[in-house]
Structure 1
Amino acid sequence: MRPSILKLLKPDIIVEMLEMVFQFENWDKLLNTSDILYSYAQCIYEERQYFKAKRLPVPHVEMARPLVYYYGFSHLMRGTACQKQGQYDQARESINKYAELGWMEDLGEEGMQIVEEFKFLARANGYALDILSGKTERLAEYVAFLQDNPEELLPGLDTVLQAALRHNLNVDHLLDAFAEQEAEFGEYEDAGNVSHYYSYCYHLALYHKQAGRQDQALTYVMRSLILAHDSGNDRNFKKSMALFESLREGAAEERLQQFEERLRGCLMEERQQPV
């Protein structure tokens, strides 16, 4: 994309787009949009460096955050997309890029704080990537990190569940250890945490199914179904329905009635939506 076009973009709108694309799990679009944000940040940074070198006034660019944020966020979202697609080497490259952003000039106090925030996220996501890629010997270290940083607990436990499914691990003791905190996950209201909670419930349902605990699996697939519907995510709603159908055989009649009542309620809400 040409610099003249890049400079016309609104970086905060791109950030909002990335957050929305993440919630709907469109990983290809997340990659493409991340690249646009990175190109924007690079273009603005190079322009600033050029004007400084020429001892000219640096043009003002309207953005809500320091430029380093957009650099870091573009790499964060690209790494997330790569991880979700199983491209772990590429995800690691992105993590390394936002782990150390202190090379940028004129960061200021706010910029340095953002650098530290991305360094923390790189540590958290580095652990997650290790566990998912099979370095399960780091699980205890990761759990200790989650205990020290409860704001990372929901996505962290979801990562643990995905690793358990991928590598056939028994993590019952971890789920028991965090049962009290897990009970609070459903109280989150912001879109990002709701998306994490859906993923957690869906993978926990799969984990219980794999362990032969059908009743627990049904409990969590119902939660994932409701979360997917309430957030308007048709793809996740269909995934949850498919998982429920795989659990239908042998399910108690009461459970089937709960599912059918909820499904009827969802269909009724859809019909009441304006055309």
Structure 2
Amino acid sequence: MELDLNGFNADSLVQMLKASFTLENWDSMLLIADKLYTEINTFYKINQQEQLSGKRVSGFGLNRNIVYYFGYSMCLKGIALEKLGRFNEARDCIAMYKDLGWINGIDAEGQEEVNYYREIAKGNQYIIELNEGNVSVLPDYLAFLRNTKEEVMPGVLYILDSAIKYRFNVDHVLEEFSEQITAMAEYYETQRNIRYYIDYSYLKARYFSINDRIDDALNIIVQSLATSVKLKDDRGFKKSAALFETLRGQATSEQLDKYLGIMKYILD
């Protein structure tokens, strides 16, 4: 069924994009991002016409600087395309928010948004390369993450995903960012950031499982299952439970007891 986006304003569309990202609904993200871009581009053109004619420029009730909406719409669309494996299209989106300096009338707040999306574009370019198996960009991406702390958790997720897919070692990455991620655990154990936190545990367990660290993998899965129950995250629970089942034959009695305890808790 086609998503009906009529009647939603720009800020509502932003919230819908965030919700779709959390639910990993990539197809909906594409529709919402396009609608947001069209909406904000219409506002921008009206503003430009008003300035040329000397009229008072309309604000349209936006909560953020107009640059933000241009950047956010194309950034989230690019992420959705990348998740769908449509890498060349994702690159086209990156090109659209890599340099937003073309927007007229940018103030100090708008310039901050321009700078922010320029940096995010760099990171997302590395992500696409990693998705395609170009491991040579890993040192540059790590340098990017060291200077962009808020991107550490999603960045490590992308690195783990690539390492699982192309079978290369990233123990040094996990070691380097371990303390930082642990320190942020409480922040990520929230509904808003649940996707990052659960996916980190799941991917780390998968990575350990293919690198003959089965005991470590199972311990992480059990903890991930408990966290998924606590945060009522069904999607994360299903993935972790499926991974545990594939490794069940190598689980210790203690790990099996913890696993069964979680299942009994759900039934009760």
Give me the TM-score of the superposition, normalised by structure 1.
0.88
Q: Does 1:28 align with 2:27?
A: yes
User: Which residue identity lines up with residue 95 of structure 1 in the other structure?
Assistant: I
Deviations 1:167-186 (A, max 9, x none): 11011222223332232242
Identity of aligned residues (%): 34
Tell me if structure 1 keeps the 8 A contact 2:33–2:77: yes
Task: Trace 1:59-208 onto structure 2 (pairs within 5 A).
Answer: 59-189=58-188, 190-208=190-208
Cα distance in structure 1, aligned partners of 2:26 and 2:201: 20
Unaligned runs of 5+ residues in structure 1 are: 269-275
User: Which residue identity lines up with residue 166 of structure 2 in the other structure?
Assistant: H
Cα distance in structure 2, aligned partners of 1:111 and 1:147: 25
For the residue of structure 1 that corresponds to 2:60, the secondary structure is coil
Deviating 4+ runs (over 6 angstroms):
none
User: Which residue identity lines up with residue 114 of structure 1 in the other structure?
Assistant: E
What is the CA distance between 1:58 and its match in structure 2? 2.8
What is the CA distance between 1:100 and its match in structure 2? 0.7
Cα distance in structure 2, aligned partners of 1:67 and 1:149: 23
| Residues 223/15 of structure 1: CA separation in 2 closer, same or farther (3 Å cut) | farther
User: Which residue identity lines up with residue 69 of structure 1 in the other structure?
Assistant: Y
| Residues 208/159 of structure 1: CA separation in 2 closer, same or farther (3 Å cut) | same
Work out the number of aligned pairs and report it.
264
Q: Does 1:262 align with 2:236?
A: no
Tell me if structure 2 keeps the 8 A contact 1:128–1:159: yes
What is the CA distance between 1:192 and its match in structure 2? 4.6
What is the CA distance between 1:164 and its match in structure 2? 0.5
2:212 corresponding residue in structure 1: 212
What is the CA distance between 1:7 and its match in structure 2? 9.5
CA RMSD in angstroms comes to 2.1
Tell me if structure 2 keeps the 8 A contact 1:6–1:40: no
For the residue of structure 2 that corresponds to 1:51, the secondary structure is helix
Moved more, 79-88 or 50-59: 50-59
| Residues 91/192 of structure 1: CA separation in 2 closer, same or farther (3 Å cut) | farther
Give me the TM-score of the superposition, normalised by structure 2.
0.90
What is the CA distance between 1:250 and its match in structure 2? 2.1
For the residue of structure 1 that corresponds to 2:250, the secondary structure is coil
| Residues 30/231 of structure 1: CA separation in 2 closer, same or farther (3 Å cut) | farther
Tell me if structure 1 keeps the 8 A contact 2:222–2:255: no
For the residue of structure 1 that corresponds to 2:249, the secondary structure is coil
Tell me if structure 2 keeps the 8 A contact 1:199–1:224: no
Deviations 1:67-99 (A, max 9, x none): 111111001110110111111111111111111
Moved more, 74-83 or 222-231: 222-231
Cα distance in structure 1, aligned partners of 2:239 and 2:5: 37
1:271 corresponding residue in structure 2: none
What is the CA distance between 1:236 and its match in structure 2? 2.5
Tell me if structure 2 keeps the 8 A contact 1:88–1:129: yes
